[in-house]
């Protein structure tokens, strides 16, 4: 089979008896023998059993779990080709789902490996990740994507007794490490020898701190942000700062603007841009995130930012010059889009982790807003995912 092109997940596409077949770990131009592992009415999913001809875009895969654990999708692709793939993927999706033809000229890419500040390990006597598409555990000694301090720590954790432990989450900031241990039974002091700043036990969703303050603090430039055991924080802190810099560039604030930061999480974007604006209001549905946002405001001595806990579609405020939206993968709901059109800001900056819902939303906003620029941030290198930042301005 000759691979014709890539799908939006980075899988090779070929046709078997005229049926589209998605092949993992296969690049355009490669000639491969495949084995189908999932046969559906309209498509097949397959894996390569033999490479008859390999592509010059193929990279040397330096991970013994690749294709088994499911964490990376693109390790087999030369990194420069990954960047090209992501640009084309977003351009294709914007066209297919939004009817938008746009040439993307910029992809920001600060780090390729060891970028993740959070890793979730499953535990069942052994410690590892789930095998792709299963709940079977594959033991892990080292992961190319996580902060090196996480790799060092798992070696030490694996020497300990892991009885009664279901899952271990490790979160890092520039200077701190936190361990969140999901347990089914008693935890004694077996983790006390580990050199970490906080240890939190999670029993049925109830958190108990057994070492340190029970949170860590991440710094982005001059700003500090509290990261609680279960709070959202971008998994790649270096890329997050560059993403926020791009938002700031697109906002081109003069100092007199009232900014609405919709889906603000713990207030990171709003806080980061606050010193350049007249005022910022952050809106977020999760009460715990809002509590952290208020703590972050105090920690950073920011006076001109406020937060409200609400569903984005339920707020009824006007008078904003710029609106920043950073919704979850589902994108903006219809009510929120109508609300945005009602408050009629000069500019909307849309930060998206899902190009399909982004395309739909840009199309829905297109009667009032024109796309002025689009930039990608490679927040998750070696995976199929990418963040998109769009600058929209009110049409003439
Ligand atoms: C992608 S995160 C953005 C967080 C933040 N901007 C950041 O960079 O850290 C999306 C946030 O939207 C919040 N959210 C989800 N649905 C929402 C809704 N209907 N209204 C308001 N916030 C919502 C989630 O709780 C989450 O914190």
Q: Whose CA is nearest to atom 25 of ligand 1?
A: 286
Q: Whose CA is nearest to atom 27 of ligand 1?
A: 265
Is 164 within 8 Å of 184 (Cβ atoms)? Answer: yes
Token pair, residue 137, equals 């555990």
Is 279 within 8 Å of 294 (Cβ atoms)? Answer: no
Å from CA of 109 to ligand 1 middle: 23
Give tens-digit pLDDT for 315-351.
888 899 999 999 999 999 999 999 999 999 999 999 9
Give tens-digit pLDDT for 252-294.
999 999 999 999 999 999 999 999 999 999 999 999 899 999 9
| DSSP assignment letter at 58 | B
pLDDT value of residue 111: 93
Task: With a cut of 90, say whether residue 27 has pLDDT above it.
Answer: yes
Å from CA of 50 to ligand 1 middle: 44
Q: How far apart are CA 245 and CA 268, in angstroms?
A: 12
pLDDT value of residue 257: 97
User: Could you tell me if the CB of 284 is within 6 A of ligand 1?
Assistant: yes
Which atom of ligand 1 is least distant from the CA of 286?
25
Token pair, residue 200, equals 């939190």
User: Could you tell me if the CB of 264 is within 6 A of ligand 1?
Assistant: yes
Task: With a cut of 90, say whether residue 190 has pLDDT above it.
Answer: no
**Strand, coil or helix: what is 291?**
helix
Which residues are known to be catalytic? Answer: 353
Q: Whose CA is nearest to atom 11 of ligand 1?
A: 263
Å from CA of 328 to ligand 1 middle: 6
Rg of the chain, C-alpha, whole Å? 23
Å from CA of 262 to ligand 1 middle: 8
| DSSP assignment letter at 116 | B
Q: Place 52 in a pLDDT band, splitting at 50, 70 and 90.
A: very high
User: Could you tell me if the CB of 172 is within 6 A of ligand 1?
Assistant: no
User: Could you tell me if the CB of 265 is within 6 A of ligand 1?
Assistant: yes
Domains and CATH numbers, the chain: 5-58 (2.40.50.140), 91-111+236-394 (3.40.50.150), 118-217 (2.40.50.1070)
Q: What is the mean pLDDT of residues 94-115?
A: 97
Q: What is the mean pLDDT of residues 150-172?
A: 95
User: Could you tell me if the CB of 234 is within 6 A of ligand 1?
Assistant: yes
Q: How far is CA 233 from CA 175, 176, 219, 269, 360, in A?
A: 16, 15, 12, 11, 26
- Distance from CA of residue 178 to its chain's centroid? 20
Which atom of ligand 1 is least distant from the CA of 234?
9
Mean pLDDT for the chain?
A: 95
User: Could you tell me if the CB of 380 is within 6 A of ligand 1?
Assistant: no
Which atom of ligand 1 is least distant from the CA of 289?
27
Going 173 to 171 to 226 to 246, the CA torsion angle's sign is: positive
Which atom of ligand 1 is least distant from the CA of 283?
21
Q: What is the mean pLDDT of residues 24-38?
A: 97
């Amino acid at each position: 089979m000759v691979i014709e092109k890539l799908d939006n997940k980075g899988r090779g596409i070929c046709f078997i008896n005229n049926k589209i077949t998605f092949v993992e770990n296969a690049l355009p131009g490669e000639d491969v023998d495949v084995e189908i592992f999932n046969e559906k009415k309209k498509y097949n999913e397959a894996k390569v059993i033999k490479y008859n001809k390999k592509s010059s875009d193929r990279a040397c895969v330096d991970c013994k779990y690749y294709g088994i654990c499911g964490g990376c999708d693109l390790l087999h692709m030369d990194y420069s080709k990954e960047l090209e793939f992501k640009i084309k993927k977003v351009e294709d999706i914007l066209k297919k789902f939004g009817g938008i033809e746009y040439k993307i000229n910029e992809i920001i890419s600060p780090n390729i490996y060891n970028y993740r500040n959070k890793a979730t390990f499953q535990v069942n006597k052994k410690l590892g990740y789930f095998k792709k598409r299963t709940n079977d555990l594959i033991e892990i000694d080292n992961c190319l994507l996580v902060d090196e301090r996480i790799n060092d720590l798992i070696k030490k954790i694996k020497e300990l007794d892991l009885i009664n432990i279901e899952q271990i989450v490790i979160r890092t900031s520039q200077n701190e490490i936190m361990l969140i241990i999901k347990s089914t039974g008693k935890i004694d002091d077996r983790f006390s020898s580990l050199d970490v700043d906080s240890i939190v036990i999670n029993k049925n969703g109830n958190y108990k701190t057994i070492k340190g303050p029970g949170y860590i603090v991440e710094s982005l430039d001059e700003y500090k942000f509290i990261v609680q055991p279960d709070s959202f924080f971008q998994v790649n802190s270096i890329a997050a700062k560059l993403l926020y810099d791009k938002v700031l560039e697109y906002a081109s604030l003069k100092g007199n603007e009232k900014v609405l930061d919709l889906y603000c999480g713990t207030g990171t974007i709003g806080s980061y841009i606050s010193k350049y604006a007249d005022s910022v209001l952050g809106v977020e549905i999760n009460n715990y995130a809002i509590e952290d946002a208020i703590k972050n405001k105090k920690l950073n001595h920011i006076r001109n930012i406020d937060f409200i806990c609400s569903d984005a579609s339920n707020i009824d405020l006007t008078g904003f010059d710029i609106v920043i939206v950073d919704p979850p993968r589902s994108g903006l709901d219809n009510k929120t889009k109508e609300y945005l059109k009602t408050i009629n800001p000069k500019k909307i900056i849309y930060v998206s982790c899902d190009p399909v819902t982004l395309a739909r939303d840009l199309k829905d906003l297109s009667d009032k807003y024109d796309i002025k620029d689009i930039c990608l941030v490679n927040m998750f290198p070696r995976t199929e995912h990418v963040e998109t930042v769009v600058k929209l301005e009110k049409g003439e």
